[in-house]
Each structure stands twice: as structure tokens, then as C-alpha cells.
Structure 1
Amino acid sequence: MVPRRSMEGDRNYTTVAMFVLLGLSDEKEVQSILFPIFLGIYLVTLIWNLGLIILIRMDSHLHTPMYLFLSFLSFIDICYSSSATPRMLSDFLKMKKTISFISCATQYFVGSWMAHAECYLLAAMAYDRYVAIGRPLQYSAIMAPGLCQMMVAGSYGSGFLGSIVQTVPCFRLYFCGPNIIPTFFCDITHIISLSCSNPFISQMILFLESIFVGFSSFLVILLSYGFIASSILKISSFKGSAKAFNTCASHLAVVTIFYGTGLSVYLHPSSSHSEKQNKVLSVFYVILIPMLNPLIYSLRNKEIKEALKRMVKRATHLPQ
């Protein structure tokens, strides 16, 4: 902490220049076990998401709106995981786990930006699945490249603005005393609780903005799946219904995991007993979901498997 002159008088106060991240555990034995585990998870996250982006870009058969959105979702997952995981990995090797005020604000801003963008992008992907199932004959006309690009740009742009709205008021609060964050990343709810000034306005901004983003995007998803369910029920053959449902099963799984874990993290009652549970949920939300998303979309996706086979054949110069 460094001295700071109060605007209200001549007394010197101290303002926080560093935060201390307690991490997942303070036991060296546990940290030595967790380091290779989370390093492996992070490498898988980077390799799988980056590989999916490259595959979609290189294979013309995957140049469709659904895979365009998926490639940008993979980019979000890379950035989201990278906002917290490298810091956590380096902290496993340190005795003193400190992060500067500016670095903490930057970490939260990037993570919040990506989380906001993912909410909007998942909503855009739900609408894409509705058009593909509910209005297949008009799909190419409705989901034109221009509209898809606008949806992606809108997701990233809205996420950027939403993150600014959250980050700036919270990090303009006055911090003068406790600087310990009881987790492995700069979580805004913990940071606000450390403020020495009245956090009411910042808390209200954070609450209202989160409700607006989460509710609006989730409402689009619910409406889209309502129309999807209605369209599937109109299909007479069981095989046709199963095929239609299969086209949106991966997206539905990703949405369920993303929103289910997010709600568990931020609506879970805070108490000393639940602190370890909150850490586990945060690990799942921040670190594991970016790894799971490409796996969910890839493992049962025939088009991606076929594209991968074509890419391998081209790389090894085998005949098609």
C-alpha cells in the first residue's frame, strides 16, 4: 500500500496498490499436484480451440454460419481462459501471490468482456439453430454473411461496452485496507467487498448490468429453443425429429453448462462453509468450460470429423 492524501482533510491514508490472491490452496504439496493438472488443461484448451479455428478456416465445407460462430466462440474461450489461467499457474510457483491494482483491473476487464461476448454469441447461435430447423428453405437468405458478421461484431462490441460499464465504477472505488482476494483471480464481488468507500452504486451497476446481459441473452435462447421445439414436434418422422434435434444438441449442452455454472457461482449464498465450493465452481466456470466447449462441439460432430480427415489427407498427400 502507498500513502495517499485525503481530499477531506490533511490526514494521510493508504491506498491499495496490490492485491493478494489466496489461490486454490496455500499448501505446497497440493500446489505441486495442481500445477501440472491445470497446465495440461490450459494446453488442451489452447490446442483444441486453436485447432478448431484453423480447421474451420481451412475447410470450405465448414464455411457456414454455425461454424463461423463456433470459431469465434473458440477465440472467446482462448481469451477467457488466458485472462486467468497463466496468472494462476505462475502463482503456484510463488511464495507471495500478489497482483497489481492495474493488472487486477485488466484481468477482470478481459474476463468480463469475454463472458459478456459469450452470452451474446450463444444467443446468436441459438437463433441460427432456430432458422436452420424452423425455416430451412429460407436459411441461406436469412443467415446471410453480412448478418452473421454483424452478429459477431455486435457480440464483441456489446461485451466490450458491458465490461467497461462494470469495470470502471468498481475499480474507481477507494481501497484503503484489506487487500486479500480469497480466490485465484480478480473476482469483482470480492474486490467490491474490500472497498473502504460506499459500494452501493457500483453494486447496483454490476447487478443491473449483469441481469440485463444475462436475462436478455438467455431470453433469446429460450425463445429460440421454444420455436425449435415447436418445429421439431411438427416433423412427422422420428428419424427427422432426431436429426433436427441432433443439430442443436451440442449448443444446448454448452448453454446448459455455461449458464448453469454461472448461476451457481454468482447466486450461491456466501458463507465460510461455501468458500471452497465457490472456488470449485469458479475453476469449472473460468478454466474448465473453455476446454469443454470445443470438445462438446467436436466429439459427436460428423462434419468436423470429416473435415479433420480431409485435412490430414491433404497434409500427408494421400489421395482423396
Structure 2
Amino acid sequence: MLALMAVLASAVLALPVAAARVPVRKAELERRLAGPDGTVMVVAHRACWKGTSENSLDAIRACIAAGIDMVELDVRATRDGKLVLMHDATVDRMTEGTGNVSDLDWADLRKLHLREGKGRRGDEPAPLTARRIPTFEEALRAAKDRILINIDAKVPLSPAILAMIDAAGGRAQVLFKAEAPLEQVRELAPWLQDVHFMPILREPYIKADPAMAVAAYDPVRPVGYEIDVKDRAFAPVMTPLIHARCARYWVDSLAGRAFSDTDAVHDPDAVWGRLVALGVDAIQTDAPVRLKAYLRRTDRRALSCPGG
């Protein structure tokens, strides 16, 4: 399944300052999208949902206010074709409603309320809020010129989605990522050469020959590689292969992963510090504010390439 990364730029707080900072911040984040620029990119998993609701406009705005580089959002389509933000196939966990997103019309979904945080856990639902399910277009508008967006598309890409992104800020600010062989990606997205692209590579499938797995994508010159690390010892194997191509090295530090947020909260040096030391310069996390503070406090730097 292709996952779509739409990128827009620039966190702001006060309006007069914001107007002056937008071009600067926009250029800064587009530079980061283009490749390693010496910084470690902080990616908020389902946006800044702590204190808000995952995949909500408030979660996006919270990340903007915190100066986070990028938010990861999930896109699904309703029965009548409306693109909305929702991670699960159903609305059960995050709202008071029930049923598959794909079986409901937008008129049904727009009446529902989002639950706090990550919603229902087991038999204990989180409190309902006044927040509503956002549309993809609303998310693009909220993020425009303020923050990068990593959109995990749960629906096939289409000319309509690309047109919506073009209207919201331009395809030049979009990074597409896919977990599929290059030939298949090209077949599904013949416009691949015209956008920024990053493959997803999982350790169990590439461990036998990681060099060949990375080299397979050389014809399209990816701007980054997302590596699903299962064993910490495998992480440094990928570093020289990715750095030789002046691309970003992306790893998730979500709970349950080899490098886990759960451990990072108690010992950030052992998780986030170790990742940066290994050459990772894009980290997706459920603790983006903590990671941002850690990077600022330790002044962690990463690979920088010409043009990055």
C-alpha cells in the first residue's frame, strides 16, 4: 500500500511574526525534505494527540505550536468518496459511532465526535470531545506553510488526491513512500519521477542482502529510506548504505519497536541518542515534544549533504 507524505511548512505563534517567518520556515522544511541538512527530523505519530485527539486538527495545531517538524496522519475514504483522517478501518475506537469508514457517508461521519487521545482502549472509552473528524482537505489547509505532513494513505492514490495536494501547496512539497518493489511502485504511480519518494524496507526481508535492497531504488534517487528495524544490531548496517546516497535515514521509535518510546522516556540517551549516533536523522515517535526537547538540550547533529 502506498503511503503518502504531503509536506507543507512553518510553525508560527504570533501573527505579525508569523507573516515574516513563513518564507523562512517554509524554505527550512523544504530543505529538510530534499535530504540531510544536519538536523534530526521529529515526526509525530498521528500528530500531537496527547492532550488532544489523534488525527485531529487540534493535534496538528499542537505540533505546529511545539515546533515539531512533521506529523503522520492516516487518510481513508468514505462510501461517497470523501477523504477523511482516521487510522482504523472503523470509527469505533475514536468516536461514539460504529461501522467501517468505507461503509459510511460523509454526512454520517461529520456528526461524530472524536474521543480524547487514542480513544477507546478495551472496554474503557476515553471521554468524547467537541472535535470532529477532519477531512483531508481541512488537514492540508491547517498545515499549509506551517508543518510537514506524512500522510499514510489507506486508499489508492488518484489524480484527485494529487490535484488536492497541488491546490493546497504544490506537489514539490509532497513525499510519497511505499512498501513495494520499484517496478510495482512505478506501475501504480507512473508520475514517481516528478515527486519526492522514500521506500519502506523491513529488516526481515532485506537482511540477507541490504545493499541490493537499497540499490534497487537507485534509478529514482529516493530522498530517504524508512527502515523497520527489528534488531538493534541491524541499524548500523544500513547507515553507510543510506549515507552514501545522501538520503535521510528514518526509524520509528514507537512502543514495542527495537528502539522504543517507552524506554526513551526513562533513558533518552539509550534510545534517541543511540539512533542519532548510528546516523538516523528522522525519528517517528508518540513523544514528539520530549524528543524535540531532548535534541535541543543535547544539540544533537546529523549528516549534512550538499543541497540538503
More strand by share: 2
Q: Which has the higher helix share?
A: 1
TM-score range, shorter chain: under 0.3
Q: Provide the TM-score with structure 1 as the length reference.
A: 0.27
Structure (1 or 2) with the larger CA radius of gyration: 1
